[in-house]
């Protein structure tokens, strides 16, 4: 274990949520939560690199449009076509972020690939694909980002997972297992990098508006909303500021999971 | 570059118990920076007045109310006095509490009076303050309650009885408040602080040690931004949740520095 212990600022900062001068990479920025995270980070002053999850053509178009939003907020930006399940593609995305925006302080893994089917219908290949996008991808991006963050003695990694990581819902075995895997991985990495100035935290997001399959059709939205204390799905725009709060934290919060779910998991 | 609006609390009124020192005083500073007015309450008026002076020096506004948070009538008066002065209460921070005589003793030596006092001071007090302020918040259709628990509310400790029980009670009180008053527009969350020493010397003693994963203890001001975030519209999607701020302690098991290596092998 290295002996590096970051020193907290002795002075109480007046603007603790400003991210001016910080550079973030958001993976999965073509999805609603990734877009919300990228925009909120830019609004807080960060420059933001936005990357896709699987480099699909439609996804890349959406990522480019998010980069335009960051540009219109007056922040530095770059759009990266990334297959986050591929080691080399991930390494070049990190290099690209640093060459375009100068540094890397914040990594947000917002990649989300929901799949729901009875386990009898999931082939081993399906499992591999679901685990690759939802679990291997954040592992590869975190690893590559941390190599840079360790040299700087500073890093903030925020992983977004689904509420299904903590609660069982029929037909979501592989997807839920992958997201629960991100929870456990984040706790482990928070310890592995505890003395490197890198925090690793998780936002556990309830079923959200626009979520593929769950929150993008009226029938499903109505069914899910009925079960929630707030009687409505999580709004992606409420997830963005939570990402900012974790990204701007002074470093004493790590290995922690915060539910952004409108009290869904607080109830029996 | 300014703090994003959703993190601001301009014009809002924060009722903060245990505001005379330590974490309470630090939170008062952060609330003042975020634009809120602070009604500070505790037993010792002289300490509160020092906090109020510090708030004023930072450009904020504060009043001081001497109270006993274990006395229902005194708590009702504290809430009424705040409303009389500022016209409303937007945020209640249940921060008062602390170690009780009898914790640290063998269970068989514990008196009934010690047990009741420990539970009164750390759990009943938070219920009393919430009960006194909730009709006002529900009537206005908005409000935020933040309960301060402890890492000890989520794990047991040797010869630790009232404190762990009361703080665990606070975690679940938080959930029921969130579920019950969420529909009325009141969000309730909980912060579980780890080790925040009272003096710079004590802070220094934790540096590089193995007990706290990141190798340092917390500095009081670090809790302020988390409390402001949870009080603000930036946390609109978060309710019923407990957030540990403890340098990675709850994510860990055993002393820091255990990093085993086990090689992947072929079947044998």
> Min CA distance, B69 vs chain A (Å)?
26
Catalytic residue ranges of A: 175
Verify whether the Cβ–Cβ distance B259 to A1 is below 8 Å.
Answer: yes
What is the CATH class of B10-245?
alpha beta
Q: What is the value of ipTM here, to two decimals?
A: 0.95
The per-residue pLDDT for range B183-192, each reduced to its tens digit, is 999 999 999 9
Verify whether the Cβ–Cβ distance B182 to A15 is below 8 Å.
Answer: no
Report the pLDDT averaged over residues A31-56: 97
CATH number listed for the domain at residues A23-261: 3.40.50.720
> Min CA distance, A112 vs chain B (Å)?
19
| B254 torsion bin: left (phi>0), alpha (psi -120 to 50), beta (else) | left
Residue B33 with chain A: CB contacts under 8 Å:
12, 14-16
pLDDT over 90 (residue A99):
yes
Kindly indicate the confidence band of residue A2, based on its pLDDT and cuts at 50, 70 and 90. low
Verify whether the Cβ–Cβ distance A266 to B219 is below 8 Å.
Answer: no
> What is the distance in angstroms between the CA of the first residue and the CA of the last residue of chain A?
41
Whether the Cβ atoms of residue A163 and residue A211 lie closer than 8 Å to each other: no
Which pLDDT value is given to residue A3? 65
Q: Which residue of A has its CA nearest to B27?
A: A12
Report the pLDDT averaged over residues B189-196: 97
Evaluate the CA torsion angle B105, B107, B112, B115 in order and state its sign: positive
- Mutation target to probe the A interface, by most A beta carbons within 10 A, among B212, B237, B240 is B237
Verify whether the Cβ–Cβ distance B208 to A5 is below 8 Å.
Answer: yes
Which pLDDT value is given to residue B2? 85
A10: how many CB neighbours lie within 10 A of its CB? 9
pLDDT over 60 (residue A174):
yes
Strand partners, B17: B41
The per-residue pLDDT for range B123-179, each reduced to its tens digit, is 999 999 999 999 999 999 999 999 999 999 999 999 999 999 999 999 999 999 999
Hunting for tokens 């450009």 — which residue is that? B59
Catalytic residue ranges of B: 163
Verify whether the Cβ–Cβ distance B241 to A235 is below 8 Å.
Answer: no
Residue B169 tokens, joined:
């009670």
pLDDT over 90 (residue A8):
no
């Amino acid at each position: 274990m290295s002996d590096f212990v970051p020193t907290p600022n002795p002075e109480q900062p007046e603007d603790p949520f400003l991210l001016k001068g910080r550079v973030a990479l958001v993976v999965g920025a073509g999805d609603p939560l990734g877009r919300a995270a990228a925009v909120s980070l830019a609004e807080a002053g960060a420059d933001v690199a936005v990357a896709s999850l699987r480099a699909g053509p439609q996804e890349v178009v959406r990522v480019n449009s998010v980069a335009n939003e960051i540009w219109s907020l007056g922040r530095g930006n770059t759009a990266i076509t990334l297959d986050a399940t591929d080691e080399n593609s991930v390494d070049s995305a990190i290099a690209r972020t640093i060459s375009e925006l100068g540094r890397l302080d914040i990594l947000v893994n917002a990649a989300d690939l929901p799949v729901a089917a009875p386990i009898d219908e999931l082939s081993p290949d399906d499992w591999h694909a679901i685990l690759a996008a939802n679990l291997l991808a954040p592992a590869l991006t975190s690893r590559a980002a941390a190599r840079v963050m360790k040299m700087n003695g500073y890093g903030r990694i925020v992983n977004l997972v689904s509420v299904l990581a903590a609660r069982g819902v029929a037909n979501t075995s592989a997807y839920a297992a992958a997201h629960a895997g991100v929870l456990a991985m984040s706790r482990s990495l928070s310890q592995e990098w505890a003395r490197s100035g890198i925090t690793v935290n998780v936002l556990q997001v309830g079923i959200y508006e626009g979520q593929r399959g769950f929150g993008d059709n009226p029938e499903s939205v109505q069914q899910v909303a009925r079960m929630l204390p707030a009687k409505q799905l999580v709004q992606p725009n409420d997830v963005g500021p939570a990402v900012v709060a974790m990204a701007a934290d002074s470093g004493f919060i790590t290995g922690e999971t915060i539910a952004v779910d409108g009290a869904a998991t607080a109830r029996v | 570059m300014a703090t994003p609006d959703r993190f601001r609390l301009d014009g809002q009124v924060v009722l903060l118990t245990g505001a005379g020192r330590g974490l309470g005083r630090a939170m008062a500073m952060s609330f003042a920076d975020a634009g809120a007015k602070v009604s500070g309450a505790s037993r010792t008026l002289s300490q509160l007045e020092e906090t109020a002076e510090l708030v004023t020096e930072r450009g904020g506004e504060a009043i001081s109310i001497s109270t006993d948070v274990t006395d229902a009538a005194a708590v009702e008066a504290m809430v009424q006095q705040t409303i009389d002065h500022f016209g409303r209460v937007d945020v209640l921070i249940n921060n008062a509490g602390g170690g009780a005589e009898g914790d640290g003793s063998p269970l068989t030596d514990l008196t009934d009076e010690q047990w009741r006092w420990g539970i009164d001071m750390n759990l009943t007090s938070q219920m009393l303050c919430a009960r006194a302020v909730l009709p006002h918040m529900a009537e206005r259709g908005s409000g935020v309650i933040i309960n301060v628990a402890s890492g000890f509310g989520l794990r047991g400790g040797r010869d630790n009885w009232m404190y762990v029980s009361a703080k665990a009670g606070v975690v679940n009180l938080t959930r029921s408040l969130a579920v019950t008053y969420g529909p009325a527009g009141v969000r309730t969350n909980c912060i579980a602080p780890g080790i925040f020493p009272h003096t710079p010397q004590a802070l220094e003693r934790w540096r590089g040690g193995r007990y706290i994963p990141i190798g340092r203890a917390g500095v009081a001001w670090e809790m302020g931004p988390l409390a402001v975030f949870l009080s603000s519209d930036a946390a609109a999607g978060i309710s019923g949740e407990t957030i540990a701020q403890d340098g990675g302690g709850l994510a860990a098991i055993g002393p820091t520095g255990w990093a085993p290596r086990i090689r992947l092998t072929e079947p044998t």
